Amino acid sequence: MLLAVIPSATDGRWGVLSSLWPSSSATPEPEPTSNPSSDLGAPEAQLIKDCIKQTKGEQLHDELFLRDLPAERLGDPVSGTLATSSEPYVLWLFDADCKSYEAAAVPPRSSVTFRAYVGQVWYYAEASAKQPVGACDCRVFSPSNSGVPQTISDTGRLTYRTE
């Protein structure tokens, strides 16, 4: 298995590229697994805040910004690893329009890397789960959780670090 994170192949958008192929075959060009409708890079701070309000609610938005998300860190790059032990998982990221898109699909018993930004809303769930829309049980990439493994259900794990 070979995994590549190549920002230029996603036109500068944050996301994951994952290609699986046997070691005996020629190396094909990687295909992006995400297609966000947002502009290039992290959106401006107000759009990040608005998406958190929309998905987490006003009270949690206020708690997050007072405690976990320093304004000067919004939009900073984040990179991490997704893993699953027995069933496929999907990482959903929310773009500047606060619409979720599939950023990575993780096959059973494997892991992939991803890139995102501080303040970006995310949802990591079994592949059978529905695409999150609006208010959801989503999380937000925060410097306070950098390096802390996030356990999802009994088989999914996501770990990230701010850059």
Q: Is residue 27 part of a domain?
A: no
pLDDT above 50 (res 36)? no
Instruction: Please determine, for residue 18, whether its predicted confidence score (pLDDT) is greater than 60.
Output: no
Q: How many CB atoms lie within 10 A of CB 70?
A: 14
Query: For the chain, what is the domain count?
Result: 1
* 19 belongs to a structural domain: no
- Whole-number pLDDT of residue 27: 37
**32 vs 42: which has the higher pLDDT:** 42
pTM, 2 dp: 0.72
CB contact at 8 A, 97 and 120:
no
Q: Residue 62 falls within a domain, yes or no?
A: yes
Domain that holds residue 51: 41-162
Query: What is the reported pLDDT for 34?
Result: 43
Do 156 and 126 form a contact (C-beta atoms < 8 A)? yes
pLDDT on residue 44: 87
Q: Whole-angstrom Cα distance, residue 68 to residue 119? A: 10
Burial class (CB in 10 A: 0-12, 13-18, 19+), 110: middle
Residues 62-77: pLDDT tens digits?
A: 777 767 888 899 999 9
SS3 annotation, the chain: CEECCCHHHHCCCCCCEEECCCCCCCCCCCCECCCCCCCCCCCCHHHHHHHHHHHHCHHHHHHHHHHCCCHHHCCCEEEEEEEECCCCEEEEEECCCCCEEEEEEECCCEEEEEEEECCCEEEEEECCCCCCCCCCCCEECCHHHCCCCEEECCCEEEEEEEC
The confidence score (pLDDT) of residue 66 equals 67
Is residue 55 predicted with pLDDT exceeding 90?
no
Q: Helix axis angle, 45-56 relative to 58-67, nearest 10°?
A: 130
With respect to residue 133, please indicate whether it lies within any of the assigned structural domains.
yes
